[in-house]
């Protein structure tokens, strides 16, 4: 299963099967980048001491930019249709997951807010059409 969401049928012989709601939710979540973020949190917590917040913000900024670039490349279509919507939603998904996981956001938001945001975002993201075919 590729990373590209397919939610429209193009006029081509043997067209690809359309992604379901669950397929779209799974493809929108950048699990690889979220796993890296979780590892960064553990490393920074173990070794950064008092300077941990600026390091976490820098890593979050990097993760956000990396998610956008990585999603764009992974969801690129051979036919040239750009994965704009998928890239935006996946990048937002990384941010929402980072907020829900905690640091450095837990200093500014109640953890319940992050958890509720994650639940709502996950449920709604599968409804976002991308207009992408193969």
pLDDT of 16-41, one tens digit each? 688 899 999 999 999 999 999 999 99
Q: What is the C-alpha end-to-end distance of the chain, expressed in Å?
A: 13
Closest CA to 82 of 91, 73, 92, 90: 73
pLDDT of 29-74, one tens digit each? 999 999 999 999 999 988 867 788 999 999 999 999 999 999 999 9
Instruction: For residue 127, count other CB atoms closer than 10 A to its CB.
Output: 9
pLDDT of 77-113, one tens digit each? 877 678 999 999 999 999 999 999 989 998 899 999 9
pLDDT for position 3: 85
Query: Sign of the C-alpha dihedral, residues 59, 64, 68, 74?
Result: positive
At residue 11, does pLDDT exceed 60? no
């Amino acid at each position: 299963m590729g990373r590209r969401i397919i939610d429209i049928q193009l006029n081509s012989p043997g067209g690809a099967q359309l992604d379901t709601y669950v397929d779209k939710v799974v493809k929108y979540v950048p699990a690889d980048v979220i796993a890296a973020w979780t590892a960064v949190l553990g490393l920074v917590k173990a070794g950064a001491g008092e300077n941990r917040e600026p390091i976490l913000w820098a890593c979050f900024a990097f993760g956000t930019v990396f998610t956008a670039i990585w999603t764009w490349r992974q969801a690129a279509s051979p036919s040239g249709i750009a994965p704009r919507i998928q890239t935006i939603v996946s990048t937002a998904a990384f941010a929402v997951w980072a907020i829900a996981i905690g640091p450095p956001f837990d200093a500014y938001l109640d953890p319940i807010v992050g958890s509720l945001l994650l639940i709502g975002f996950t449920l709604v993201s599968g409804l976002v059409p991308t207009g992408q075919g193969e």
